[in-house]
Amino acid sequence: MLNEKIRNLRKANNMTQEELAEKICVSRQAITKWETGLGIPDISNLESLAKLFNISLDQLVSEEQSINKENISRTEFDIFGKSDFDLDIGTARDLDVTTADIEKVIVEIRSDLPKEAYKLAKVKLTDGKQVDLVVVEYGDRKKHLDVKTDKDLSRQEAKEHLSVKVILPSELSNRIELEGNVRNLSIHDITQDHHIEFNGKADNASLRKLNGHLELTSNVDMEVFYDGSLRQLDINQIRCITNLHIPEKAELDIQSKGRASHVISDGWENKPEAEHKVELNGFKSEMTIRTKG
């Protein structure tokens, strides 16, 4: 995908998002949107990226994956009946969660390290009253899992090189709980009225084409790109800063319910009677509303 290709090219050239933004004369927020899949560069920016990375425009926008296919591991689990899902991925660079009209769970693990992804992480499904899906890193010694590896993958390496995509069954999913320490979190195309929770750390969160209620608990400063589709979005933080990027014409009721926390809006008009709600909860946190056309 284009967002993965831009991110991988940037990292291969040892650039930060700020450095890339400066070289092609755009904002760092634009780079973040491109790399999380929330935005797409226009043709002039695509040409600038291709020139900077010394590749053709066709190479940049082609559908060919920039990650070697030998470094992709795909695991499938059949699901029988409605279930709650508890996904714990430990540490990774990217976590992508969506649903589809299927009766199984699909997990794809990608790595740009010179070793097959299935050797870097293992997936185990336990089935009780709820379905627990655990992606296990090297070095993670969870007692209920039989993890056999020949070399440890550090958490730092996992956060730089490991990506996890999870596709859940739309009709068979009830509550969805997510846990992890990631740079980029993407939750998208979940049209059923599910209750979703994320607990952990996420530097960037892309939330689009969703329904129901999402609780996002992440005690690090965040860039959140949100299309306004949820019935209720709760952002729970302690002593953190969130930049909430929303469409300029979004109809949202955004309130601070946290203790000593507040919302800053630079000219955006809040809609107290709007059907879609956003709440900032927690302690001594700040959320700034940033609009995009």
Q: Residue 280 and residue 255: Cα distance in Å, rounded?
A: 6
Instruction: Identify which has the larger pLDDT, 127 or 177.
Output: 177
Alpha carbon separation from 112 to 10, 115, 149, 246 (Å, rounded): 13, 8, 18, 32
Local structure of 74: helix, strand or coil: strand
Predicted confidence band at 276 (pLDDT cuts at 50, 70, 90)? Answer: very high
Query: What digits encode the pLDDT tens for the residues 25-41?
Result: 889 888 988 988 878 88
- pTM equals 0.74
Question: Hey, which bits of 101-228 come out as E strands?
Answer: 104-111, 121-127, 131-137, 162-169, 173-190, 195-210, 213-218, 222-226
pLDDT of residue 25: 86
Give which of 97, 236, 102 is closest to 164, Cα–Cα. 97
pLDDT of residue 90: 82
Looking only at the bridges linking them, the beta strands covering 262-265 and 241-247 are unpaired
pLDDT higher than 70, residue 81: yes
Give 133's contacts (C-beta < 8 A, 6+ positions apart).
77, 85, 86, 87, 88, 105, 107, 123, 124, 125, 166
Q: What is the mean pLDDT of residues 31-54?
A: 85
pLDDT of residue 112: 77
111 DSSP β-pair partners: 162
Q: Residue 23 and residue 280: Cα distance in Å, rounded?
A: 35
Give which of 226, 204, 210, 237 is closest to 278, Cα–Cα. 226
The DSSP secondary structure of 94-117, one letter per residue, reads EEEEEEES-SEEEEEEEE-SSS-H
Q: Which domains does the chain have, with CATH numbers?
A: 2-61 (1.10.260.40), 67-181 (no CATH)
Predicted confidence band at 87 (pLDDT cuts at 50, 70, 90)? Answer: confident
pLDDT of residue 195: 94
Of 1-15, 91-105, 182-196, minimum mean pLDDT range: 1-15
pLDDT, averaged across the chain: 82
Query: How many residues does this entry show for the chain?
Result: 293
Give 49's contacts (C-beta < 8 A, 6+ positions apart).
6, 9, 24, 41, 60
pLDDT of residue 132: 55
Q: Residue 209 and residue 20: Cα distance in Å, rounded?
A: 29
pLDDT of residue 110: 83
Specify burial of residue 241 (Cβ count, 10 A radius: 0-12, 13-18, 19+). middle
Query: What digits encode the pLDDT tens for the residues 93-149?
Result: 899 999 999 998 888 888 877 766 656 666 766 665 455 555 544 333 322 222 222
Query: What digits encode the pLDDT tens for the residues 277-292?
Result: 999 999 999 999 998 7
Looking only at the bridges linking them, the beta strands covering 104-111 and 72-78 are antiparallel
pLDDT of residue 151: 47
In the structure encoding, which two tokens stand for residue 156, read together?
């730092």
222 DSSP β-pair partners: 242
Question: 193: part of which helix (H) or strand (E)?
Answer: none
pLDDT higher than 60, residue 258: yes
pLDDT of residue 137: 41
pLDDT of residue 12: 83
What percent of the chain is predicted at pLDDT more than 70?
Answer: 83
Question: 236: part of which helix (H) or strand (E)?
Answer: strand 232-238
Q: Residue 291 and residue 90: Cα distance in Å, rounded?
A: 32
Q: What is the mean pLDDT of residues 220-236?
A: 95
Question: 192: part of which helix (H) or strand (E)?
Answer: none
Instruction: Identify which has the larger pLDDT, 46 or 242.
Output: 242
> 28-36 vs 17-24: helix axis angle to the nearest 10?
110
pLDDT higher than 50, residue 64: no
